[in-house]
Amino acid sequence: MKAKKYSESQIAAILKEGASGIPLPELCRKHGMSSASYYKWRSQYSGMEASHMKQMRELQAENARLKKLYAEQCLHTDILKEALGKKVSAPSCRSEMAHHAKTHYNISIHKICQLFGISETCYRYSPKNKEANATIAAKLHEIVNTKHQERWGFRLCFDHMRNVLGWSYNHKRVHAIYVKEGLNLRVTRRQRIVRAAPQPLATPNSMNQVLSIDFMHDQLTDGRSVRVLNVGDDFNREGLIAAIDFSIPAKRLTRELDQLFEWRGQPQVIRSDNGPEFISDHYRNWAKERGIVLWYTQPGNPQQNAYIERYNRTMREELLNRHLFTSLEHMQMLSTEWLWTYNNRRPHIANGRITPAQKRMLTQAKSQTVH
């Protein structure tokens, strides 16, 4: 049986009848109520008029509503405090936090979604291909934790997966996983002086047409200065020599180049700056005897040899700045390993996002097809 509701005027009349001396059993039977209700009303509303009773009931209802709102607000505050220590900007992260809150707090899904700013569809969404995402994440960690690849950003990792490993996953999907795994590199670039747009460097049409050459400097752990000789092919950006020694004079330079020409062939042009080794009589006569044209950059314009300068920066960031070298042998071993990684594993934008070795093999295959 449904409980009967009594208005304020009815309660006031019942209390007046009870005060006039009517027995309680008779009064309860007359109005269809229990003795407990009568005693409750008498303790709360004794001596009050109907209007006062109505005001009191309204105040009690408002007080109950405010208590409920306060309790809900406290619950929301507790949930948000627990989530403050975690980054919840992405919808997937907010959905994860919403599921966690729903498990630990007695709150509706509608309120949870409002609290974390997501839709109920997002809350109920179950991601597909979890195994494939886990495979991509594992491969990304493997790539960036491989020796000489610690400084690879997203684009290099994706190009390696797409063009070297042959994976066909969409770049947006791989980037989402890359960011979620926290693999982003913090890169700070120096401010550069705004200059007029330089003339673009001419790209050779074939291998062994133009070689770029330059020196770098570094130190061993005991403080001794070391020189690094870098030689690269401008066509496919392939690194050819990474010679290490305390001193590399002009005679040692020409000897290294002769050894390179024995297995690779002689180039038409060698581009370099105006260092003392490159303007020496021995080096000039050596090039003249072999019919090699020497291109020199203008003083103060290293951008005229930009291909090898960019190569030097990559070597500095991925090798020289990341290792402490105890000896020449140690430095030469790591340089040789890095050179192989650079040529065979690291994609290059100028090559169409494939490695220098892949570009070389494609060029050789085309030339054999033509002939």
To which H or E segment does residue 219 belong?
strand 210-219
Show Cβ contacts of residue 62 under 8 Å, excluding neighbours closer than 6 positions.
none
For CA atoms 229, 233, 234, 237, the dihedral sign is negative
How far is residue 366 CA from its own chain's centroid? 38
To which H or E segment does residue 281 belong?
helix 281-290
pLDDT of residue 358: 93
Instruction: Give residue-wise pLDDT tens across range 8-42.
Output: 777 777 777 777 778 878 778 877 778 888 788 77
State the pairing for strand pair 210-219/225-233: antiparallel
Binned at pLDDT 50, 70 and 90, residue 131 comes out as confident
Q: Is the pLDDT of residue 360 over 80?
A: yes
The C-alpha atoms of residue 254 and residue 239 are separated, in whole angstroms, by 17
The C-alpha atoms of residue 95 and residue 113 are separated, in whole angstroms, by 8
Instruction: Give residue-wise pLDDT tens across range 41-58.
Output: 777 776 666 666 677 777
Q: Are 275 and 229 in contact (CB under 8 A)?
A: no
| Nearest CA among 237, 199, 242, 240 for reference residue 350 | 237
Q: Are 234 and 254 in contact (CB under 8 A)?
A: no
Q: Is the pLDDT of residue 252 over 90?
A: yes
Instruction: Give residue-wise pLDDT tens across range 301-348.
Output: 888 899 999 999 999 999 999 999 999 999 999 999 999 999 999 999
pLDDT of residue 1: 39
| Nearest CA among 336, 357, 349, 355 for reference residue 147 | 336
Q: Are 351 and 358 in contact (CB under 8 A)?
A: yes
Q: Are 255 and 283 in contact (CB under 8 A)?
A: no
Q: Are 260 and 231 in contact (CB under 8 A)?
A: yes
Helices and strands: H and E segment counts in the chain? 15, 5
Instruction: Give residue-wise pLDDT tens across range 216-233.
Output: 999 999 999 999 999 999
pLDDT of residue 226: 96
Structure token digits, residue 58: 């309204």
Q: Would you mind telling me the total number of residues written for the chain in this entry?
A: 371
One-letter amino acid for residue 90 of the chain: A
Q: What is the pTM of this model?
A: 0.66
Which residue has better confidence, 325 or 150? Answer: 325
The C-alpha atoms of residue 357 and residue 342 are separated, in whole angstroms, by 9
pLDDT of residue 83: 58
Share the mean pLDDT of the chain: 84
Q: Is the pLDDT of residue 77 over 80?
A: no
Q: pLDDT > 70: what percent of the chain?
A: 88
